[in-house]
Amino acid sequence: MSEARPLEGRRALVTGASRGIGRATAVALARAGASVAVGYSASPDKAQAVVEELQSHHRVMAAALSADLDDPKAAAGLVEQTVQALGGLDIVVNNAGINRDNLAMRLTDDDWNSVIAIDLTAAFHICRAALRPMLRQRFGRIVNVSSIAGVIGNAGQSNYSAAKAGLIGLTKSLAREVASRDITVNAVAPGFIETEMTTSLGDTVRASAIAAIPKGRMGTAEEVAAAIAFLVLPESGYITGHVLHVDGGLAA
């Protein structure tokens, strides 16, 4: 019995796709049949390794595309690169993000500006550029990777929480603007997920975090990727403006 490939013929851009949630998302979309542009800003070797995995294991077209998302022109240009590499664009997953954690009193202007630029403003520039081809073809799927920190806040992450909350506002506004053109815009809000960002937490912080999660464990990148893949499936076309929590019940 052949593997179901409901995204066959679709072209996707995933930012921050060389590792973590982005990599898992690229794999999930490719498994479903989509061609994938693996967006990255560093680690070209890791990005190329993802491309090779998608091509060899899932038999899809894939390309590694570099962009400095701190630069508005480069962020928008990533969409143009994707259209050129894949022949079009149907799906965008804005996953790239950074954190510069500290108490608000100790945050520098650079700490604030860098996180807002990468985690929020770059996503806006990519969405704006991606909507042009999507509106022309009257189809598109956008998923913005927010965070549970953008829903309930988190001490020591006022910049990160503000950026991720902004992504939710962006998601809901765009969803209302483009729904009539068969373009959906949704967000996922991961909680504590086992990635490079969380492995740097100390044992005490990790234990405290896990104790607050009703499921009693951290999530995996693959679990977040599954939620993202669900939101871009044909069967999910009536879901838009939604924020899907993938947090083990943390914000329940």
Q: What per-residue confidence (pLDDT) applies to 2? A: 53
pLDDT, tens digit only, all 252 positions of the chain: 457 899 999 999 999 999 999 999 999 999 999 999 999 999 999 999 999 999 999 999 999 999 999 999 999 999 999 999 999 999 999 999 999 999 999 999 999 999 999 999 999 999 999 999 999 999 999 999 999 999 999 999 999 999 999 999 999 999 999 999 999 999 999 999 998 767 767 788 889 889 999 999 999 999 999 999 999 999 999 999 999 999 999 999
Q: Is residue 119 part of a domain?
A: yes
Range of the domain at 29: 11-195+221-245
In a domain, 212, yes or no: no
* pLDDT number for residue 1: 40
pLDDT given at position 4: 84
Angle at 189 between CA 188 and CA 195, to 5 degrees: 105
Catalytic: 160?
yes
| pTM of the entire predicted model | 0.95
Domain annotation covers residue 3 = no
Asked if residue 206 belongs to a domain, the reply is no
CATH number of the domain bearing residue 70: 3.40.50.720
Q: Give domain status of residue 203, yes or no.
A: no
Of the candidates 47, 160, 164, 170, the residue annotated as catalytic is 160
In-domain check, residue 211:
no
With respect to residue 88, please indicate whether it lies within any of the assigned structural domains: yes
Closest CA to 47 of 32, 62, 61: 62
Q: Is 11 buried (19+), middle (13-18) or exposed (0-12) by CB count in 10 A?
A: buried
pLDDT of the residue at 204: 84
> Residue 16 falls within a domain, yes or no?
yes
Q: Are 182 and 234 in contact (CB under 8 A)?
A: no
Number of domains in the chain: 1
